[in-house]
A and B are shown apart, each in its own frame.
Chain A
């Protein structure tokens, strides 16, 4: 049994490829661990209740709301944030596509949109198919990421375009 008598715990996470050992209050969400303990402020807090998507990161290759996950419950997990784009060619392609399509305005939802899009592409790949993401599927699958500035149409165009670039195997 993995028991702690404490209200805090040792947490080991691999964040953007780097192993981080933290001592955290059990109440610490993954979002707060990333932002406050690791000073990775790219991931944003929009609502803190899993209703806006601004806190989206990838955990073990799946896109998640980091505000609803307890850091202590993620043993040895692999976390990718927007800052991890330096290591992930797909994220870089998505970033370039976002810029080319002006898929952002205030930018606050952007890190979450990017991580969510990466997660979407990973999901599509797992489901088979040629890896390209048609607009209708992108719209439905990205609906967990709100954008108050209304950059949706450009985000969808960017994700669709990036999916083609990635599917064509460009690094």
Chain B
């Protein structure tokens, strides 16, 4: 690692000002993502501003009945919170499917959302990578490895196809979470579906956050509380592995028709993927086999498999149809 100075402010304003004032500064949560990347020399901050003493570690009820989750709530605490388990079990399932207990015990919600791709070329500074340095090249696309779980089937650009690895982000995307951000110019709210930028031709600009913007909270609307919902994740081993594809779904039925459905895919795109085409095709329909398949295919028609990752399309189709079918059964 490169040497760095370390600060632990006790107010958000000070933290933001501290990062704003120093071009080489970065926010530090637990470090499970940042320290890992610093050891790889992918990130080389010269000042770390520790955000874990800013009292952002509570989960509270919002005025509208939804949930407010502080940005430094630990992943494990989020998953075991009684309100989360009762009203947004999708969230708990997503968190518990990720990483290992040792990581979940310290990793923050904010850090989880901002973790970087696991693409092996991004993580290897001896190789070029457009995401680290725009225009330097993408060996991942050139290499044509026979098994490419790190590459996207949706939303890739010719410059970068590396998937986003967070499970939590997928669940929050399905639930229409709002991200509270405080920056040098004040506080704002960003829908999570607008937080991440697709790679386009500037893969390094992967979020709408400026360097000194800090996530302070995640808000969940009351609307989806207690809907039948679930998170399914496929992996190449039984645990402690990033997903090869994942699905977050929540739906509401009236009688035998789907009234509202929220669907997001993970590990298949450079951003958590909200499956709006599928949602539109499902709304108002009966959740029977061919309807579910056609709706999912309405989304997957946009899939562009790359060498070694076509299996993700099959995975998504199978998992989504099964999951929706199961949720519909629960709603009945």
Contacts and interface: CB of A to CB of B under 8 A. Distances in A.
> Do chains A and B directly touch (beta carbons under 8 Å) in the complex?
yes
B326 interface: no
Q: Which of A2, A65, A119 has the most CB of B within 10 A?
A: A65
Contacts of A140: 239
B10 A70 contact: no
A58 to B, nearest CB: 9
A50 B101 CA distance: 11
A6 B103 CA distance: 28
A63 B99 CA distance: 13
B79 to A, nearest CB: 10
A62 B106 CA distance: 8
A80 B201 CA distance: 48
A78 interface: no
A9 to B, nearest CB: 6
Interface in A61-76: 62-65, 68-70, 72-73, 75
Interface residues of B, number: 34
A81 interface: no
Nearest to A27: B1
Contact of B32 (A63, A65, A72, A141): A65
A18 interface: no
Nearest to B74: A62
A144 B106 contact: no
A27 to B, nearest CB: 5
Interface in B103-156: 103, 105-106
A118 to B, nearest CB: 12
Q: Which of B3, B100, B102 has the most CB of A within 10 A?
A: B102
A86 interface: no
Interface string B203-244: 000000000000000000000000000000000001110000
B16 to A, nearest CB: 13
Contacts of B30: 68-69
B10 A1 contact: yes
B239 A49 contact: no
Interface in A143-167: 143-145
Contacts of A83: none
A159 to B, nearest CB: 13
B50 A73 contact: yes
A1 B14 contact: yes
B77 to A, nearest CB: 10
Nearest to B107: A68
B39 A26 contact: no
A48 B39 contact: yes
B8 interface: yes
B6 A123 contact: no
B5 A26 contact: yes
A123 B7 contact: no
A143 B238 contact: yes
Interface in B1-19: 1, 3-10, 14
A106 interface: no
Interface in B23-81: 28, 30-32, 35-36, 39-40, 48, 50, 52-53, 76, 80
Interface of B: 1, 3-10, 14, 28, 30-32, 35-36, 39-40, 48, 50, 52-53, 76, 80, 99-103, 105-106, 238-240
Interface of A: 1-7, 9, 25-27, 29, 48-50, 53, 56, 59, 62-65, 68-70, 72-73, 75, 116, 119-120, 123, 126-127, 140-141, 143-145
28 contacts: A1-B14, A2-B9, A2-B10, A3-B9, A9-B6, A25-B3, A26-B3, A26-B5, A27-B1, A27-B3, A50-B102, A53-B102, A59-B106, A63-B105, A68-B31, A68-B32, A68-B106, A69-B35, A70-B31, A73-B31, A73-B50, A119-B105, A126-B80, A141-B101, A143-B100, A143-B238, A144-B102, A144-B103
| 9 interchain residue pairs of minimum CB distance | A144-B100, A143-B239, A2-B8, A62-B105, A7-B3, A143-B240, A27-B1, A65-B102, A3-B7
Given A50-B102, A123-B76, 4 more contacts: A4-B7, A49-B40, A50-B103, A73-B50
